[in-house]
Amino acid sequence: MIGDQGPYDPTGFIEGDPSTYPVPLGGGYYYAGQYWTLTAAAVIGGDPLEVGDLLYVVSFGRAFGDGTFGDGFIGWNTNGPWDGIEVGFRGVSVSLPAWEVPAPPYSGCPLGESMPGWRIVIDAQYLPESAEVRRFGELDFGDELFGDDINLDVSTMPWNDITEQNFGVSITVGNTDGNPRVRVSEAQFDFIDETADLFAMSQPESWFGPRVGTIVRVGVLAPSLEYHPLFVGRIESVNDVHDQPPRLVQVDAFGMSFDTVQTLPDWTRPAETADVRLTAIGVASGYVWGPVYPYPSVPGPSLLALPEPENVVAREALDVAAISARWYVNTAKDGRLRVRPWPEPGGGQVITVTDCNDAGDTGQNRVVFGDINYLEDGDQVIYGDGAPTSNLGLLSPSVGLFGDMNELLNLVVINNKDDTP
């Protein structure tokens, strides 16, 4: 049996001692997807866990020589059954906001033979029918309580694994042109929903499950079962194609920064620092996906007052305030807004691009491109403090580098002569 195995008191748990491990319901072997609810705090696998957190069984195989003749199985199965010698445990904290809770081990589906050990996970936040949320008009007067006691906050809404019904996903994140105004991330999904059990069209089934506005995310589980989110956003449209089988559902979603595409009527602000203004814009827009990530500096650069009331779009106001401070706004991997310095401070490997192959130059980070297009215009020029003509900052020119494979590269250093940066 997979799924919930009941409560477990981790007091006395010893890594490597199967006699101290939680036992599956009914005894027997362990299988991928089994988990227990902790009744006491503990540190397992180096992770501090609290009461109510979940403990998942994991396995990466048994080393040669482990166990004695007759113990467990010969070989190792990806999803079980496993004996106590073959397993370990990994905790998942459910006390964190939902956007910080990783996908559980072994959720989703394998990515295939080209990426052995990797799994893709597509999950969405909604209350399944088993949640038994009472709707208006259900039950009789005086039955139980008026309304329900289930918290519908996105920070506590449960994630539901819907990977198996998906057969295609395309994700677009950020820009390719170096612009400090970063585009909203997008994702397109294709689902097979033959029996309409996921995207229902009739009531009461349509009260449950994902719909327009539902938060959906895509991530991968590494062979170590560490979770890496790739996209987090809200469903914007659902196109149910069911004229002929198979029944396909096409879903479009926008990244969480789209929540800030709200009009702020009669918007005014006093002279203040950039961090204060950006925070105020986020609050005014109703953005609820957690706080903005730490700013490059607090307090930030000073911004002029906006005394004249004006109707502005919060997303545009965020960009204007950030760019005025020589920052920019984009989203972190978990979908939340973050503010970064512009241009990026760099780091990692520096690549030098040249347009000719001089004899004797054998630098390993040197790349030759015969077709270099350099465009400098005023789209990304900002003015700093003081006289505009004397303190002008060029954020990032547009550089297109095309090789034989028509690859567009984002590069750090560009040289047109070996001795001239």
- How confident is the model at residue 401, as a pLDDT? 45
The reported pLDDT for the residue numbered 154 is 73
Residue by residue, pLDDT tens for the chain (421 residues) are 678 999 999 999 998 899 999 999 988 899 988 999 999 999 988 888 999 999 999 987 655 555 555 555 455 577 788 888 888 898 888 888 887 889 999 899 998 887 888 899 999 998 876 544 555 455 565 555 444 444 467 777 889 999 999 888 999 888 877 788 888 999 999 999 888 888 888 777 777 789 898 999 999 999 888 899 999 999 999 998 877 788 899 999 999 988 899 999 999 999 999 999 999 999 999 887 766 778 999 999 999 999 999 999 999 999 999 999 999 998 888 888 899 998 877 666 666 777 666 655 666 667 766 666 665 555 444 444 433 333 333 444 444 444 443 343 443 333 333 343 3
Q: Determine the pLDDT at residue 33.
A: 87
Q: pTM of the entire structure? A: 0.73
3-state secondary structure the chain: CCEEEEEECCCCCCCCCHHHCCCCCCCCCECCCEEEEECCCEEECCEEECCCCEEEEECCCCCCCCCCCCCCCCCCCCCCCECHHHCEEEEECCCCCHHHCCCCCCCCEECCCCCCCCEEEEEEECCCHHHCCCCCCCCCCCCCCCCCCCCCCCCCCCEEECHHHEEEEEEECCCCCCCCCCCCCEEEEEEECCCCCCCCCCCCHHHCCCCCCCEEEEEEECCCCCEEEEEEEEEEEEEEECCCCCCEEEEEEEEHHHHHCCEEEEEEECCEEHHHHHHHHHHHHCCCCCCCCCCCCCCCCEECCEEEEEEEEHHHHHHHHHHHCCEEEEECCCCCEEEEECCCCCCCCCCEEECCCCCCCCCCCEEECCEEEEECCCCCEEECCCCCCCCEEECCCEEEEECCCCCCCCCCEECCECCEC
Q: Would you identify the CATH topology of the domain 261-341?
A: Phage tail protein beta-alpha-beta fold (3.55.50)
pLDDT of the residue at 339: 93
Predicted pLDDT of residue 370 = 61
pLDDT at residue 385 in the model: 40
Q: Domain ranges in the chain?
A: 1-95, 99-257, 261-341, 352-414
pLDDT score for 175: 80
Q: Quote the pLDDT of residue 416.
A: 39
The pLDDT assigned to 152 comes to 60
